[in-house]
């Protein structure tokens, strides 16, 4: 790799206006693990992108490297450029919405998604998933009516995709139903939430079981929570991706129980507190751009549970 850096460095010196040399050199630095290499890779990718300002692929690479470097400003600029060149790029919009949410700009993220989707009348897996993203940021901005509208659209479109043989859309459909049920429960529309959740199954996701328990006011529905939290604690050390998934599932569970649990579920609440504390402590070691955001969410959930139940 050092030899490759020397060779491409010589190409850059001889042809300083050649974008491919900068792009390739950027990839070489990205592949190395030395401190500062990711920043060098980003700077070289920026030079390559500026030498081909109308190439969206170059700016997509800048966005990825900037996100990995926690350079939110550069990532946002790169994603904005991609969307100006290709206004139909669902992936770029999804990344931008996630970035804006991480920056605490949920209202702006919702507005960008809404503007994008208002110009699309096609039903594709990518577009349908964006309605879930829109709903998430509307909920975070306390625009609950808009969130419900987006989830209903996601639910309808996902059903159409499933009917046309797209089995992968089933997950989108189920997630839209669960999130809509959560909003129904927030409005105390118990029957509406129950209808969306459908019949219980032994293998349903744990957050669905929690919602079902909230609808039924039946603490026994929450019985799987404690062994689940024990699994979470073992997954924390299993690698970054498994850890992140464990944290996210736990955050959903804490959120559900924080808003809906009763005073008599002390064992469940104590288990949630223990799991939240473990996850909050472990999150700090994860090299993930939104680590700080999840630490804050878990800390808030931990505090709210402590204040309410203990």
Average pLDDT over every residue of 141-157: 95
Q: Compute the distance between CA of residue 105 and CA of residue 73 in angstroms, rounded to an integer.
A: 13
Alpha helices per DSSP H over the chain:
2-14, 19-31, 37-51, 56-68, 72-85, 90-102, 106-117, 125-140, 144-163, 169-186, 190-197, 206-216, 225-235, 240-260, 266-283, 291-309
The terminus-to-terminus CA distance of the chain in angstroms comes to 57
In this prediction, residue 308 has a pLDDT band, given cuts at 50, 70 and 90, of: very low
Dihedral over alpha carbons 266, 269, 275, 280 (to 10 degrees): -130
Q: Compute the distance between CA of residue 183 and CA of residue 198 in angstroms, rounded to an integer.
A: 16
Count the neighbouring beta carbons within 10 Å of the beta carbon of residue 26. Answer: 25
pLDDT of residue 12: 57
CA distances from 70 to 90, 105, 182, 249, 287 (A): 22, 16, 32, 24, 10
List the structure tokens of 107.
């209202």
Name, in order, each residue with C-beta under 8 angstroms of 309's C-beta and a sequence gap of 6 or more: 261, 263, 266, 269
pLDDT, one tens digit per residue, over 180-221 is 998 998 888 889 999 998 888 766 766 677 677 777 766 556
Phi, psi for residue 144 in degrees, rounded to 5: -70, -35
pLDDT, one tens digit per residue, over 244-283 is 666 666 666 655 555 554 554 555 555 555 655 555 555 5
Instruction: HSE, CB side, 13 Å, CA atoms: give it for residue 308.
Output: 22
Name, in order, each residue with C-beta under 8 angstroms of 295's C-beta and a sequence gap of 6 or more: 280, 283, 284
Q: Compute the distance between CA of residue 20 and CA of residue 58 in angstroms, rounded to an integer.
A: 10
Q: Compute the distance between CA of residue 95 and CA of residue 79 in angstroms, rounded to an integer.
A: 8
In this prediction, residue 113 has a pLDDT band, given cuts at 50, 70 and 90, of: very high
């Amino acid at each position: 790799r050092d030899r490759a850096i020397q060779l491409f460095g010589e190409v850059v010196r001889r042809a300083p206006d050649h974008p491919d040399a900068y792009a390739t050199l950027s990839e070489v630095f990205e592949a190395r693990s030395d401190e500062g290499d990711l920043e060098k890779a980003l700077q070289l990718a920026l030079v390559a992108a500026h030498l081909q300002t109308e190439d969206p692929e170059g700016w997509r690479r800048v966005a990825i490297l900037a996100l990995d470097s926690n350079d939110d400003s550069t990532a946002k600029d790169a994603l904005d450029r991609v969307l100006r060149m290709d206004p139909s790029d669902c992936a770029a919009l999804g990344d931008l919405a996630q970035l804006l949410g991480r920056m605490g700009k949920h209202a702006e993220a919702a507005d960008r998604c809404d503007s994008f989707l208002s110009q699309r009348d096609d039903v594709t897996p990518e577009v349908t998933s964006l309605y879930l993203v829109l709903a998430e940021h509307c909920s975070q901005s306390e625009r609950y009516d808009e969130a419900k509208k987006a989830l209903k659209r996601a639910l309808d479109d996902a059903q159409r995709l499933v009917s046309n043989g797209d089995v992968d859309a089933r997950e989108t459909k189920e997630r839209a139903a669960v999130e809509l049920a959560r909003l129904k429960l927030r409005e105390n529309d118990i029957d509406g939430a129950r209808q969306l959740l459908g019949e219980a199954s032994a293998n349903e996701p744990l957050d669905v079981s929690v919602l079902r328990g909230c609808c039924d006011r039946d603490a026994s529905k929450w019985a799987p929570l404690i062994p689940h939290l024990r699994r979470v604690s073992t997954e924390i050390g299993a690698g970054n991706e498994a850890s992140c998934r464990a944290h996210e599932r736990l955050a959903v569970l804490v959120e559900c129980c924080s808003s809906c649990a009763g005073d008599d579920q002390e064992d469940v609440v104590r288990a949630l507190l223990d799991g939240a504390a473990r996850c909050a402590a472990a999150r700090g070691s994860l090299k993930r751009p939104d680590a700080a955001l999840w630490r804050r969410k878990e800390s808030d959930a931990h505090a709210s549970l402590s204040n309410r139940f203990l």
